[in-house]
Amino acid sequence: MNSFSLTDLARVDHRQPILIAGPTASGKSDLAIEIARQYGGLIVNADAIQVYSNWRVLSARPSEKDETEIDHALYGHLARDAHYSVGHWLREVRPLIRGAKRPIITGGTGLYFTALTQGLAELPAISESLRQEANAQIEKYGYQVLLKDIDADTQQKLDIQNPMRVQRAWEVQQATGKSLSYWHAQTPAADLPLEDCCAIVMQTDTPWLNTRIEQRFDKMIKAGALEEVEEHLPNWNEKLLSSKAIGARELIAHLRGQLSLEQAQQSATIATRQFAKRQRTWFRSKMKHWNWFDATHSLR
């Protein structure tokens, strides 16, 4: 792992694309905005939830003020019920990395960055009936039941703590008769190899990050997260990808009288910390050759 600082960042060719990955609440967006203000560029979203229009506060999307002052792309451009995948994101980001403005791609969805810098296998489309079959099994038995039908090689390379990744691997194997590992072996060349960009991972101390997570959710509540979630209450559908926004399920439970607001906040904070831990595990495993930026001591 290569350590990286603001001084190093100043030396980067200002035409070179920048990637900023990191766990939730680690200051990725703040760093991206600072870079764009100093050197110019287009901030591009690499977060699987921030693509949805229905979550600005809860997904910690950039503010309307920031989006007005600095060019942003792929934020809040999808309806709440839209299906979206890493393949969709990659197709949307391709013209942006070849555009006139330097892209500053930032987010916490590690698979997006891996696909961008290492390539993505073109997987066959999954039928809606097969997806519904997977959903039915998950609802009845839990997502772990799908693991028995996923080959050992794929399981070794899979984040088996991530229900969406497990479901995707199961669907591919059921639909094609071939494992996800097989399809990944057919991966084409990367759209943006690491040697062609400045790739940064936000490195954080756990206590520092946990404090920021707790403070940020409190700020979200004060900024209107509860009201944002309340708009979904009449037609709440927990199966939608957009409904995976951390805090949404907990605040829905509060609005239904199942949890107090304090309990909902505590539950959402714990879920966010667990999510951040999974993100950091992914980054340490998949992004060893990136530049590691000490967010704990560089950001205040």
List pLDDT tens digits, range 21-45.
999 999 999 999 999 999 999 999 9
Burial letters 91-112, b for 16+ CB under 10 A, else e: ebbeeebeeeebbbbbbbbbbb
Residues 6+ positions from 222 with CB-CB distance below 8 Å: none
pLDDT at 300 over 60: no
pLDDT band at 189; cut points 50, 70, 90: confident
| pTM exceeds cut of 0.85 | no
- Could you tell me which of 101, 132, 97 has the C-alpha nearest to residue 116? 97
CATH code linked to domain 128-185: 1.10.20
CATH 3.40.50.300 placement within the chain: 2-120+193-205+288-298
Q: Where in the chain is the domain with CATH 1.10.287.890?
A: 206-277
Q: Which amino acid is at 196?
A: D
Residue 17 has pLDDT above 90, yes or no: yes
Average pLDDT over residues 70-98: 95
Label each residue of 193-245 as H, E or C: CHHHCEEEEEECCHHHHHHHHHHHHHHHHHHCHHHHHHCCHHHCCCCCHHHHC
Question: Residue 2 is encoded by which pair of tokens?
Answer: 């290569």
**Pair of tokens at residue 35:** 């870079």
Find where tokens 């760093």 sit.
Answer: 31
pLDDT the model gives residue 290: 96
CATH 1.10.20: which residues of the chain? 128-185
Strand partners, 104: 18, 43
β-bridge partners, 21: 107, 201
80: its two tokens:
């709440």
State the CATH architecture for 2-120+193-205+288-298. Answer: 3-Layer(aba) Sandwich (3.40)
Output the CA–CA distances (angstroms, integers) from residue 291 to 24, 126, 157, 240, in the order listed: 18, 36, 23, 34
Fold of domain 206-277: Helix Hairpins (1.10.287)
Q: What is the pLDDT of residues 212-262, one digit of tens each?
A: 999 999 999 999 999 999 999 999 999 899 999 999 999 999 999 999 999
Query: First-to-last CA distance in the chain?
Result: 23
Q: Is the pLDDT of residue 70 over 90?
A: yes
- Cβ pair 151, 233 in contact under 8 A: no
